A and B are shown apart, each in its own frame.
Chain A
Amino acid sequence: MDQTVRSATTGIRPATRPLVLLLATFLLAGLCVASLAIGSKTIPFGEVFSVLIDPRGGETEAIVRGLRLPRTLLGLFAGVALGLSGALIQGVTRNPLADPGILGVSAGAGFAVSLAVLAFGLSSFYSYVWFAFAGAAIASVVVYALGGFGRGGATPVKLALAGVAMLALLTSLTSGVLLLDPNALYVYRSWAVGSLTGQDTAIVAQMVPFLLTGTALALSVAPALNSLALGDDVASALGRRIGLIRLGGVVAVTLLAGTVSAVVGPIVFIGLVIPHVARAITGPDYRWILPYTMVLAPCLVLAADILGRVVARPGEIGVGVITAFLGAPFFIALIRRRRLAEL
């Protein structure tokens, strides 16, 4: 009976949702530009634009196009992909503690990297990035298959538990391999620090098709997630094919989070937290939650990245540390203030 009251108090008023989203998008655009301009050598905005439009060589171009552009794009892509896949996996498992890692995606990627180094002695990034992606894909397929075993198919609880069991298994195996082979530890560490730096535009371009497919798939299951949130019975009564939705969600998560963690390593918490932030702002509608996570997650990643370059000049502080200290207090304040829309 309090339904009307509740929907009125979770999130902002429905009419203002597009406006806030638009504002957030402007913020994101601003952060992208700032990310190109700010760093150990600050470059004026005008020069950034002219270098982007008209490449003419020189130090400025090398910095902007060679270093900061791939870094910014990577931050943007990583944010979008992790945020989206986090929202998806929470919707599919109906568990607020689920993040893309719960499907074993980054653990699978990490294990594949360590194994590739151990078995084949691979050391160049280009050779192991495909192993990482394959590892992510295999891990999530196995989790889905195991979670779908038995009565009732892939129920949220089974899926989550299968994912956690897989995560435990793979994490342990990875540490085992790393302790065996110091060389693997060396390569793995450079992958696992979760850095946006040191990648070139070619790698970033290779990510695009995977991410586009994943995003399209993610957005196409959004309305179905709304039905799924009401429980399996109601969802099938509303004409949803539950198995298909879950599968679609899992595939999208694999594409998005698998690609990103293959390239930048495991960035945890973005995928876990941003969907909750989006949910607190928009209320429980996935058609809004997904776009909001797509914009807010890269905002946080880029803001953290920029801040990391500024606060400890000339050195840098890792994105992970800054996102936590930027994001966590905000996150806690948000969940304290709002009446929560539960999953």
Chain B
Amino acid sequence: MRPEIAPTLRAEGLAVSYGDRSIITDLDLVVPPGKISVIVGANASGKSTLLRSLARLLSPAAGQVCLDGESIHAMPTRELARMVGLLPQSPVAPEGMTVIDLVGRGRAPHQSWWRQWSHSDEETVRHALELTSMLDLAERPVDELSGGQRQRAWIAMALAQDTDILLLDEPTTFLDMAHQIEVLDLVMDLNRTRGRTVMMVLHDLNQACRYADHIVAMKSGRIVAQGPPADLLTAELVDEVFDVRCCVVTDPVSGTPLVIPIGRHHEPRNVARHPFPIH
């Protein structure tokens, strides 16, 4: 049984650098437990770096990342792997490895020498394959799948890990529109029905608005603003974070903010000077 209160991941005074190039400086962040958070920002704004630091793939130059008050770098990695899962950007499976084999490896933190393949392993893997509709492809080698199927196989692996917190680095890249929606719906199901905390990096601002409970906007390694999309998204913020002029309207389907970029060749008709009134 999962505890009633989900564990909380928190970055305190975090600074990360590659060599002598500093990517993130003095960043504080609480990943809201039980919610879906999305990090948005322009290229090279430090989104992935932040996510990777939260998953202890990068060691901070200063500050720390804590899970329920305990520094993740001091925790045994296996224990942490049972609580925080991560799907990195475009991972590569060895040539010829089958989907079921890949997904099965997601169970590693729960296995041991005397428990290599328990009933719960089997059920969790099956469930992960079901959720990602990969059951029919389970015996196929990962490298023979299409980009979308491959991504779903990796997501299934992350799901099989069965963690309370799931970190996803651009889970929708390489996917066509239908599969993008499918994956994001899946993430939402996980959150709504099973109470998982999700934090992901997304490129598409509108998808971020639709699926996020909490948006973190980043620029040059700092958090510019964060909060629920409806409160946060304004034309000014988009201009500041992405350097793009836009209108923000209400999404007729979901009721969330919808960002419409303007570009050089178009001027918004009727609303030449003002962006749409927001909600």
* A residues with CB within 8 A of B: 1-5, 157
* Chain A residues near B203 (CB-CB < 8 A): 1
A157: which of B47, B95, B170, B201 is its contact (CB, 8 Å)?
B95
Interface residue B43 (Cβ < 8 Å from any Cβ of A): yes
By beta carbon, the residue of chain A nearest B48 is: A1
C-alpha gap A157/B143 in the complex (Å): 14
- Interface size in chain B (residues, C-beta < 8 A): 9
- The contact of A3 among B43, B47, B95, B201, by CB within 8 Å, is B43
B43 & A1 in contact (Cβ 8 Å cutoff): yes
Q: Which of B40-65 contact A (CB under 8 A)?
A: 43-44, 47-48
Interface on B for A, CB 8 Å cutoff? Answer: 43-44, 47-48, 89, 95, 170, 201, 203
Indicate if the CB atoms of B95 and A2 lie closer than 8 Å.
no
| Chain B, Cβ-Cβ closest to A233 | B147
Q: Which 10 residue pairs of A and B lie closest in terms of their CB atoms, listed nearest first?
A: A5-B44, A1-B43, A1-B48, A4-B44, A4-B43, A2-B44, A1-B47, A2-B48, A1-B44, A157-B95
Residues of B within 8 A of A2 (CB): 43-44, 48
Residue among A1, A3, A4, A157 with most chain B CB within 10 A: A1
A–B complex contacts, Cβ < 8 Å, 9 sampled = A1-B89, A1-B170, A1-B201, A2-B43, A2-B44, A3-B43, A4-B43, A5-B44, A157-B95
Bound Cα distance from A4 to B48, whole angstroms: 14
Q: Report B219 CB to chain A, min CB distance, Å.
A: 13
| B-chain residues with CB within 8 Å of residue A5 when the two chains form the complex | 44
> Which A residue sits closest to B201, measured CB to CB?
A1
A3 to B170, CA, bound (A): 14
B173 — nearest CB in chain A belongs to which residue?
A: A1
A2 and B43 alpha carbons, distance in the complex (Å): 7
C-alpha spacing A1/B203, complex, angstroms: 9
For B48, list chain A residues within 8 Å (CB).
1-2
CA–CA, A1 and B218, complex, Å: 13
Q: How far is the CB of A6 from chain B (nearest CB, A)?
A: 9
Q: In the bound complex, how far is the Cα of B203 from the Cα of A61, in angstroms? A: 70
Which residues of chain B have C-beta atoms less than 8 A from A3's C-beta? Answer: 43
Q: In whole angstroms, what is the CA distance A5 to B45 when docked?
A: 10
Extra pairs beyond A1-B48, A1-B89 (12, CB < 8 Å): A1-B43, A1-B44, A1-B47, A1-B170, A1-B201, A1-B203, A2-B44, A2-B48, A3-B43, A4-B44, A5-B44, A157-B95
How far does the alpha carbon of A1 sit from the alpha carbon of B242 in the complex, in Å?
A: 14
Contacts of A4 in B (CB 8 A): 43-44
Provide the residues of chain A in CB contact with B170, threshold 8 Å.
Answer: 1
A3 to B90, CA, bound (A): 13
Within the complex, the shortest CB–CB distance from A165 to chain B, in Å, comes to 18
Q: Please name the residue on chain A nearest to B19 by beta carbon.
A: A339
Give the docked Cα–Cα distance between A161 and B83 (Å).
41
Residue of A with least CB distance to B96: A157
Across the two chains, which residue of chain B brings its CB closest to A337? B19
Report chain B residues within 8 Å CB of A157. Answer: 95
A85–chain B nearest beta-carbon distance, Å: 26
